[in-house]
Amino acid sequence: MRLALASPMALSLASTVLAASNFTEAPIITNSQQGVLYEATLFSKQNTSIRGVVTAWAPSNAIGVKFHVDFWGFPPDVRGPYPYHIHLDRVPQDGNCYSAGGHLDPYDRGEQPACDPNQPQTCQLGDLSGKHSPVYVAPNAQFEAEYTDLFLSTTKGSDAYIGNRSIVVHAPDGTRLNCGNFVLLEEVE
Ligand SMILES: *[C@@H]1O[C@H](CO)[C@@H](O)[C@H](O)[C@H]1NC(C)=O
Ligand SMILES: *[C@@H]1O[C@H](CO)[C@@H](O)[C@H](O)[C@H]1NC(C)=O
Ligand SMILES: *[C@@H]1O[C@H](CO)[C@@H](O)[C@H](O)[C@H]1NC(C)=O
């Protein structure tokens, strides 16, 4: 049995599995800065009816970031799923969501395979809908969610910092529908 396990076939299978998971798992953030509130408001664009606000702050134990997500104005004939993510770059005033670059992914996980919400430490940091569920809405209804993401940070300088990034809401086919930039709304000494 030992010989069989050490066969070239078994070794190459083992290394295939390793290669497929060859990225750094996201560490849990334990020092998120307290007393700061960030908010991203989706643009008031002519070519989409989707609007929304995402607020983010550190929970009192400083572990990760707490998010409150409100989106509305989705087309009444499409329930979802509408994915949404934290993207790297800020969107300029023209509201072109394609200026937002890729997803926040400092540990180089890449897009594939899809995020497993049962193993959020293996997902892209910015993949909020992968980890916490995409948007599904009843016709003309609002989407609201609140959750803590353990792997993001409100601390400037951290790889996991969200405060200078953007949010993009996608159509089910991946088209970028609307977006907004996080801004510091409030700082309590
Ligand atoms: C796996 O990660 C290591 C260290 O980050 C890197 O040197 C190596 O090239 C990676 N291998 C593959 C197959 O991506
Ligand atoms: C919507 O309008 C913005 C400018 O406000 C533009 O950058 C974007 O490409 C347009 N999106 C679509 C899908 O037409
Ligand atoms: C955002 O802040 C991080 C450090 O926390 C920095 O590495 C990155 O360059 C900044 N990005 C932008 C778009 O300002």
Q: Please give the pLDDT value at position 187.
A: 81
Query: Which tens digit of pLDDT belongs to each residue from 120-137?
Result: 999 999 999 999 999 999
Q: What lines the ligand 3 site, CB under 6 Å?
A: 89-90, 156-158, 161, 164
Q: What confidence tens digit (pLDDT) does each residue in 14-36 have? A: 444 444 456 789 999 999 999 99
Which of 3-7, 66-70, 77-81, 140-144 shows the lowest per-residue confidence on average (mean pLDDT)?
3-7
Amino acid 93: pLDDT: 94
What values do phi and psi take at 142, rounded to 5? -95, 150
- Among protein residues, the one with the nearest Cα to ligand 1's atom 8 is 22
Q: Whose CA is nearest to atom 12 of ligand 2?
A: 47
> Going by DSSP bridges, is the β-strand pair 143-149/65-72 parallel, antiparallel, or unpaired?
antiparallel
The per-residue pLDDT for range 164-173, each reduced to its tens digit, is: 999 999 999 9
Q: Do 180 and 99 touch, CB atoms closer than 8 A?
A: no
pLDDT, residue 21, reads: 56
CA-closest residue to ligand 3 atom 5: 157
* Helix, strand, coil content of the chain in percent (nearest 5): 15, 30, 55
What distance in Å separates the CA atoms of residue 99 and residue 183, rounded to the nearest whole number?
A: 17
Tell me which ligand sits closest to the C-alpha of residue 106: 3
Task: Please check the confidence at residue 153 and state whether its pLDDT lies above 60.
Answer: yes
The full DSSP string for 90-111 is PPPTT--GGGG-SB--TT---S
- Give whole-number Cα distances, 4 to 13, 14, 153, in Å: 13, 13, 47
Among residues of the chain, what percentage have pLDDT more than 70?
88
Ligand nearest to the CA of 154: 3
pTM here? 0.84
Q: Calculate the average pLDDT of the chain.
A: 90
Share of the chain above pLDDT 90, in %: 85
Please check the confidence at residue 103 and state whether its pLDDT lies above 60.
Answer: yes
Is pLDDT at 74 greater than 70 in this prediction? yes
Q: How confident is the model at residue 186 (pLDDT cuts 50, 70, 90)?
A: confident
Residue ranges of domains in the chain, CATH in brackets: 2-187 (2.60.40.200)
